[in-house]
Structure 1
Amino acid sequence: MKTTKTSLTPEEVKRIARLARLPLSQEEIERFTPQLSEVLNYFNKLNEVDTSSVKPTYQSISDENRFQEQKLEADTLSTEEVLKNAKEKKDGYVLTEQVIK
């Protein structure tokens, strides 16, 4: 199987940047166009790999939890205690001022 060379145009790079909400200057578009084309060509090489003898996998990772169970060292407050002490609350949640702008 022969690899097809992919060559992006500056217009395609502009469109990709717009979809990714990346403001790129004309200089950046000109610089990234050949670089992104090279990345795509590298991935096109994967089409050359013979995978006919590889069995398809649908889930290669087991669902088993491999994390250590969290053990709390200190006493914790119940939901009721937290809500009782909260200045503002709504539907079982504590309301706070916005911390991320």
Structure 2
Amino acid sequence: MSDDADAVSPEEVRHVATLARIDLAEEEVERFTDQFADILEYFETLDRVPEVDREADLANVMRPDEVRPSLEREEALENAPETEDGYFKGPNVS
């Protein structure tokens, strides 16, 4: 556990849970308060790691586009649970 458990307050944990639409019991709030404080300590430790001055070895991993045979539309859609106007139909997103 963190020595500095006050780094994150229970109110902040409740706020994050509300944003994530998660209902937390009071004992979960206490547990996550300690865990969040520990996570923040880990990030502070990472901030102290010195940067390495070197060029990254970059390589182009993209391949050129090439036309290849593919499925006919009807064949691609035959196992789809729902289609509409020749396209896959997914659930509405609200």
Q: With structure 1 as the length reference, what TM-score do the two structures score? A: 0.55
Matched, 1:14 2:14: yes
Taking a change above 3 Å as real, the CA distance of residues 48 and 89 of structure 1, as seen in their structure-2 partners, is: closer
**Shift of residue 60 of structure 1?**
5.8
RMSD between aligned alpha carbons?
A: 3.8
Equivalent residue letter for 1:92: G
The aligned counterpart of 1:92 is 86
Structure whose CA Rg is larger: 1
CA distance in 1, matches of 2:58, 2:24: 38
Deviations 1:1-52 (A, max 9, x none): xxxx67100000011111122110111101210111011101110111111x
Q: With structure 2 as the length reference, what TM-score do the two structures score? A: 0.58
The aligned counterpart of 2:72 is 78
CA distance in 2, matches of 1:95, 1:50: 50
Taking a change above 3 Å as real, the CA distance of residues 89 and 16 of structure 1, as seen in their structure-2 partners, is: closer
Equivalent residue letter for 1:55: R
The aligned counterpart of 1:49 is 49
Which segments of 5 or more consecutive residues in structure 1 lack a partner in the other structure? 66-75
CA distance in 2, matches of 1:80, 1:95: 14
Which segments of 5 or more consecutive residues in structure 2 lack a partner in the other structure? 64-69
Taking a change above 3 Å as real, the CA distance of residues 62 and 11 of structure 1, as seen in their structure-2 partners, is: farther
